[in-house]
Structure 1
Amino acid sequence: MNRIEQRFAALRREGKKGLIVYIGAGDPDLAATRELALAFDRAGVDILELGVPFSDPLADGLVNQLAAQRGLASGTTPLGVLETVAELRRESEIPVVLYLYYNLMHRMGLERFIERARAAGVDGLLVLDLPPDEDEGYEAAMRGAGLCPIYLVAPTTPDERIATIARRASGFIYYISREGVTGMRDQLADNIGTMTARIRAHTNLPVAIGFGISTPEQARAVAAVGDAVVVGSAVVHRIGQLGRSPALVPEVTRFVRSLVEAVKSV
């Protein structure tokens, strides 16, 4: 088992739910990304999801688009992100998933990127625009490296497609609880429980629920249904507001700790 599988196995033994936090790598710079990651680990975050900056982040709303722009402006590259993960591994065993677009892997070379990710200490990849039936050797390379290919299920995904995704995924299934792009929302979708049950009918993998979860209260409600909660834009928004302020790490971590407490209270 890699770190993702180990973490979910531990959560299952403890009867606890998990918190996955997304941030844009290199926002405001990679040094801050490393410090935030270490602080999140100490705060009790279960899995860190790092967005690799890309010029055309088609699955992302404005908050995460701006984070990608800031990451690119700070000079962040895919190799720079991998080097930051390698640095993080000297101090932390928090599971790390890279959230990225296929072009970034394709440009480096699929197998080369996956091998470099493995060597750096990455545990899984979530490739937003790579359908599971068009992988061109991706899953074989991932299995060979011991990494988890993470796939998305949407509210519009039919059961036959859910079954296909569930067969090919490992680590966890990421259920995006709203149609459209990432972003903060005032209210949760009303079909989260129904869709989570549909996914579980096809797999024993943990179901992590994200997209639109913005407050500790929402995180607590979603944790009651899923195995893990993913919070991204609400954290990224705070990073964007604070930028290079000395208050960045303590203030963002304070909010993240409130999410941890909410999820772990279920």
Structure 2
Amino acid sequence: MSEFFAHRRPGRPGLAVFVNAGDPPLALLPELVAMLDENEVDCLELAVPFPGSATDGPVVRASADRALATGVTPRAVLDTVASVRPGLRRLRIALLADWSHTVRGTAPGEFAAAARDAGCDGLLLHGVPPRLRTAHYEAVRRAGLPLVTTCYAVSGPDAVAEAVEHGSAYLYLVAHYGRSGTAAAWDRKRLGAVTATLRSAASAPVAVGFGVRTATDIEFLEGLGAEAAVVGSAGVARMEQARAAGRDPVGELQSFVRELRTPQPSHTPADGRKRGIHP
């Protein structure tokens, strides 16, 4: 499997974009994937939709519900990935799957092998019970599919060490505790310290998400040492707003990606603060 974020330009962090498969409709996924690839997005974090996520806010949860209402299945998602993967030049696909809704009941490693065979470059397993994590980490490793692991900026040493040990695709550092899409502020000092710890200990790149909405946010994370930024709710919301207004959601996401890639003029307010950041 190819390394995530390996093709990012010097001085510019990698970019991962989250999308629920099936929202917009699965038939548009090939067009969306091609657009992300053409616009030099490094990673599509593609979720097999599942209901009632405890870690997602209303924007992503509503997106998952819309996708599920169309009858999207894991098999249909993997088949679509298999159809588009051969034509990609740089975009990597990390599949996000919920253990209870999608993976539970399959033999260890079976789902990972299916994702690998479809052409996914990595797997993020959501909600694996603690007592089963070691077995699932090992099963996914045997399947030959790199793992995305997660920890929070407020995680203790054991959780950070677990993420470092098992993360082989990239480490997803959640910038603040809570649900995605919330407006909680970033603690600059803590986030910088955890990013530095992960980068010094991990062999996989570190990507930071939760609350990333603008090019300025991404530049700030780069300054902390993050190798990539993950954008979720902000992009999902833009696509939903476009659909509600009768516009093309893929075109709207393209406009948003280009905004995220547009360098911003340096500006620090007189009080030394930036949006969402504690001094």
What TM-score, normalized by structure 1, do the two folds share? Answer: 0.89
Report the Cα distance in structure 1 between the residues aligned to 2:30 and 2:181, rounded to whole angstroms: 23
CA 184–44 in structure 1, closer or farther in 2 if over 3 Å, else same: farther
Report the Cα distance in structure 1 between the residues aligned to 2:166 and 2:185, rounded to whole angstroms: 31
- Give the deviation of 1:261 after TM superposition: 3.6
Q: Report the structure number with the largest CA radius of gyration.
A: 2
> What is residue 243 of structure 1 aligned with on the other side?
243
Aligned to 1:33, the other structure's residue is in SS state helix
* Between 152-161 and 240-249, the greater mean CA deviation after superposition: 240-249
Report the Cα distance in structure 2 between the residues aligned to 1:228 and 1:123, rounded to whole angstroms: 16
> What is residue 194 of structure 1 aligned with on the other side?
193
Number of equivalenced pairs: 260
CA 184–145 in structure 1, closer or farther in 2 if over 3 Å, else same: same
CA 210–127 in structure 1, closer or farther in 2 if over 3 Å, else same: same
Which structure has the higher relative contact order (CA within 8 Å, separation 6+)? 1
> What is residue 173 of structure 2 aligned with on the other side?
175
Any idea what the Cα deviations from partners look like across 1:196-238, whole Å, max 9, x if unmatched?
Answer: 1122342232110001111122122112220000001000001
Any idea what the Cα deviations from partners look like across 1:43-79, whole Å, max 9, x if unmatched?
Answer: 1100110111112212111110001001101111111
Alignment of 1:87-102 (within 5 A): 87-93=83-89, 94-102=91-99
- Give the deviation of 1:247 after TM superposition: 2.2
Work out whether residues 44 and 257 of structure 1, in 8 Å CA contact, stay in contact via their aligned partners in 2.
no
Report the Cα distance in structure 1 between the residues aligned to 2:252 and 2:12, rounded to whole angstroms: 25
Alignment of 1:69-108 (within 5 A): 69-93=65-89, 94-103=91-100, 104-108=102-106
2:128 to 124, 127, 130: 130
> What is residue 8 of structure 1 aligned with on the other side?
5
- Give the deviation of 1:39 after TM superposition: 0.5
Alignment of 1:111-150 (within 5 A): 111-130=109-128, 134-135=132-133, 137-150=135-148
Residue identity over aligned pairs, in percent, reads: 34
- Give the residue type in structure 2 aligned to 1:154: Y
Work out whether residues 7 and 42 of structure 2, in 8 Å CA contact, stay in contact via their aligned partners in 1.
no
1:163 to 161, 164, 167: 161
> What is residue 277 of structure 2 aligned with on the other side?
none
> What is residue 257 of structure 1 aligned with on the other side?
258
What TM-score, normalized by structure 2, do the two folds share? Answer: 0.85
Report the Cα distance in structure 1 between the residues aligned to 2:24 and 2:209, rounded to whole angstroms: 23
Over aligned residues, Cα RMSD in angstroms?
2.3
- Give the residue type in structure 2 aligned to 1:33: L
Report the Cα distance in structure 2 between the residues aligned to 1:181 and 1:143, rounded to whole angstroms: 29
Report the Cα distance in structure 2 between the residues aligned to 1:224 and 1:177, rounded to whole angstroms: 14
Unaligned runs of 5+ in 2: 265-279
- Give the residue type in structure 2 aligned to 1:68: A
Report the Cα distance in structure 1 between the residues aligned to 2:263 and 2:105, rounded to whole angstroms: 40
- Give the residue type in structure 2 aligned to 1:230: V
Report the Cα distance in structure 2 between the residues aligned to 1:197 and 1:165, rounded to whole angstroms: 14
Work out whether residues 166 and 202 of structure 1, in 8 Å CA contact, stay in contact via their aligned partners in 2.
yes
Unaligned runs of 5+ in 1: none
- Give the deviation of 1:159 after TM superposition: 2.1
* Between 212-221 and 40-49, the greater mean CA deviation after superposition: 212-221
Report the Cα distance in structure 2 between the residues aligned to 1:50 and 1:220, rounded to whole angstroms: 24
Work out whether residues 8 and 42 of structure 2, in 8 Å CA contact, stay in contact via their aligned partners in 1.
no
